[in-house]
């Protein structure tokens, strides 16, 4: 009898000792990776006014426990994002719970082959899917100076890939900002702090859906 009581005490102690760790896991912020170029990195912006930082603050203001990981590199093409994806994802322990993919603007500015951009983005989405990480794909529009054929084929890549992989899709990352000089820096390409605020406000509902997908994945 004494041995049985002692055994039960050991089991209870072990269970109780595990509770704090379980609680910490449940309370852990959703880790949201923002993979992109200068539009994500915050080119030309004051500290703290970049897209990932403003998005994180906006989500927290709505009551979401989230950490937005800034993985934007100025000048990056889709090939650059693809090349550093493994580093951005990290190991299984530190992998993000969900991701926003914002790439392609520099491919369009440089007039790079659309087929190559499509291949790079396809591989990025395939690797996210292999890791069971929900994605929000942000679309981009090509500059019109390369001609209508280039622009149409470029623009079509993003919705086609979103449909192929069944990921959330935000049609145009710079929606409401592009061509508005009040929301752009002097280069007329990158958003100023007010422009970032507009981007975050517009994309936030889709990001909330992304967070819900991440929560559902962890619950299953």
Q: Is 57 a catalytic residue?
A: no
Query: How far apart (Å, rounded) are the C-alpha atoms in residues 141 and 172?
Result: 7
Q: Name the one residue in this structure whose structure tokens are 């929000």.
A: 136
Query: How far apart (Å, rounded) are the C-alpha atoms in residues 136 and 203?
Result: 10
Q: Which of 37, 38, 78, 155 is catalytic?
A: 38
Q: Where do runs of H (alpha helix) occur along 85-219?
A: 85-89, 105-109, 114-130, 148-165, 193-219
Q: Is 212 a catalytic residue?
A: no
To 10 degrees, what angle do helices 51-61 and 193-219 make? Answer: 60
CB 137 within 8 A of CB 168: yes
Q: Which of 25, 91, 187, 220 is catalytic?
A: 187
Residue 123 has phi, psi (to 5 degrees) of -65, -40
Q: Which of 37, 76, 88, 190 is catalytic?
A: 190
Q: Per-residue DSSP letters for 71-120?
A: EE-TT--HHHHHHTHHHHH--TTT--SEEEEE--HHHHHTT--HHHHHHH
Q: Is 190 a catalytic residue?
A: yes
Q: Name the one residue in this structure whose structure tokens are 């609680």.
A: 23
Query: Which residues are known to be catalytic?
Result: 38, 187, 190
């Amino acid at each position: 009898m004494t041995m049985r009581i002692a055994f039960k005490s050991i089991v209870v102690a072990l269970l109780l000792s595990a509770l704090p760790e379980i609680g910490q896991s449940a309370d852990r912020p959703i880790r949201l990776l923002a993979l992109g170029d200068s539009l994500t990195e915050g080119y030309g912006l004051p500290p703290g006014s970049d897209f990932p930082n403003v998005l994180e603050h906006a989500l927290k203001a709505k009551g979401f426990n989230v950490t937005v990981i800034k993985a934007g590199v100025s000048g990056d093409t889709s090939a650059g994002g693809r090349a550093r994806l493994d580093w951005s994802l990290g190991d299984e322990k530190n992998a993000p719970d969900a991701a926003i993919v914002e790439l392609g603007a520099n491919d369009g500015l440089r007039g790079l082959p659309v087929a190559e951009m499509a291949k790079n983005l396809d591989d990025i989405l395939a690797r996210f899917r292999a890791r069971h990480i929900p994605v929000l794909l942000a679309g981009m529009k090509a500059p019109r100076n390369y001609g209508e054929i280039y622009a149409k084929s470029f623009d079509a890549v993003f919705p086609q890939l979103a449909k192929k992989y069944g990921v959330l899709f935000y049609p145009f990352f710079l929606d409401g900002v592009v061509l508005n000089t009040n929301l752009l820096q002097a280069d007329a390409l990158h958003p100023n702090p007010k422009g970032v605020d507009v981007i975050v406000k517009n994309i936030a509902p889709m990001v909330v859906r992304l967070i819900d997908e991440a929560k559902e994945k962890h619950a299953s």
